[in-house]
Amino acid sequence: MNNSFGELFRITLFGESHGSCAGVVVDGCPAGLLLSERDIQSEVDKRKPVPQAGQTPRREEDQVQILAGVFKGRTTGAPICLLVWNKDTDSSAYEKIKNTPRPGHADYTAFVKYGGLNDYRGGGRFSGRVTVGLVMAGAVAKNVLNLKAIEVLAHTVQLGSIKAGESTYWQIRSRTYKNSLRCADAKVVKLMLEELIKAEREGNSLGGVVEGIALNLPVGLGEPFFDTLEGQLAKALFAIPAVKGVEFGAGFRAAEMKGSENNDPLKIEDGRIVMGSNNAGGVLGGISDGMPLILRAAVKPTPSIAQNQQSVNLETMKETRMTIKGRHDVCLAPRAVVIVESMMAVTLCDLALRAGLIERIVK
């Protein structure tokens, strides 16, 4: 297990889906940052399911508590411990299937890796529930980045077969959290919802793609050779359950482009160097180039579906069939939006500290 991420801004995650709580320790945050439970709560609330088609009926209060590291409304330089208590847990459905790994879930791999000793209730440590800790850490990181006017955005750009059109940063900023699909393109939200409802009726689930953006990054973030901006962000995003691909800028499309198309020409605008296009997605040589950072994460369809599926019984080592009860999102992409933002913020915060761009004391 390695439940810590980052070098100078380091987060350590703990908690399980059906245990007593989910939390995170945030270490390395500059002293003097204004930080209230309300700040963090508003981020955690973005992760909550919206009471609507295609979202888990599980209802968590998710009342954020700051256990350590904040004094008189400001961070102190000491580690910040953030926690939400689990309340609405119903483990009954899991007891029946504990020996039958759910296809597409970590049940089987966790069973082998931990010798069957892992907490299997609700996916235990592998549950999306644990990501609330990422969002709490992300809330802190966003506050730090805000000191340098760095902004992190994310939105759903594909849900099932429906792809969103281009949106401006202003649209992404203002519209994403206005709808339950976290989609900035108002025109496709209805189509996405229809596809979602259809999948739900079929007892099925959908995949999607989340785009993440960081604005106002200075040139110079990212540490070659191994802690590249892309490599660190990709590692961070693959920590989000269900993410199966990460690309930057033109990404996989670059494979079919020619050098003359893909190279971003350098220009002078208002006395500053900018790129004439952004196929690099804001990263050259693993280092931020001053353009908006653009990435996309592929989210696989929710593995928990209502249809009858083929599995095995780990005790009898015989094949069996199973139907998952429980409560689940039809598509994980919308709920992953704020988590993508959070992991981006955490990663950028660490790299900014390592590059010496952030002071240790906020005045």
Residue from 103, 171, 197, 292 touching a copy of itself (CB under 8 A): that is 103
Residue from 169, 257, 315, 323 touching a copy of itself (CB under 8 A): that is 257
Smallest gap from Cβ 178 to a copy of itself, in A, equals: 23
- Which residues inside 167-226 make contact with a copy of itself, applying CB under 8 A? 199, 204-209, 219-220, 222-226
- Which residues inside 34-63 make contact with a copy of itself, applying CB under 8 A? none
Q: Is 93 in the site for a copy of itself (CB under 8 A)?
A: no
DSSP characters over 101-158:
PPTTSSHHHHHHHTTT-S--GGGGGGSGGGHHHHHHHHHHHHHHHHTTT-EEEEEEEE
Residue from 36, 108, 148, 177 touching a copy of itself (CB under 8 A): that is 108
Q: Which stretch binds a copy of itself (CB under 8 A): 41-49, 51-59, 143-151, 233-241?
A: 233-241
Sign of CA dihedral 14, 52, 45, 11: positive
Q: Is 327 in the site for a copy of itself (CB under 8 A)?
A: no
Residue from 109, 168, 174, 323 touching a copy of itself (CB under 8 A): that is 109
Strand partners, 318: 313
* Cβ contact 246:233 at 8 Å: yes
Cα separation, 251 vs 240, whole angstroms: 19
| Residue number, 174 or 216, with CB nearest to a copy of itself | 216
CA atoms within 13 A on the CB side of 289: 23
Cα separation, 81 vs 78, whole angstroms: 9
Smallest gap from Cβ 44 to a copy of itself, in A, equals: 18
Q: Residues binding a copy of itself: what is the number (CB under 8 A)?
A: 149
Angle at 3 (CA atoms; ends 214, 158), nearest 5 degrees? 40
Looking at residue 284, its amino acid is L
Q: Residue 240: name the closest of 351, 335, 350, 114 by CA.
A: 335
Q: Residue 83: name the closest of 36, 15, 182 by CA.
A: 15
Residue from 232, 335, 342, 344 touching a copy of itself (CB under 8 A): that is 232
Residue from 289, 335, 342, 345 touching a copy of itself (CB under 8 A): that is 289
Residue from 58, 284, 292, 327 touching a copy of itself (CB under 8 A): that is 284
* Cβ contact 125:110 at 8 Å: yes
Q: Is 81 in the site for a copy of itself (CB under 8 A)?
A: yes
Smallest gap from Cβ 170 to a copy of itself, in A, equals: 26
Q: Is 334 in the site for a copy of itself (CB under 8 A)?
A: no
| Residue number, 158 or 173, with CB nearest to a copy of itself | 158
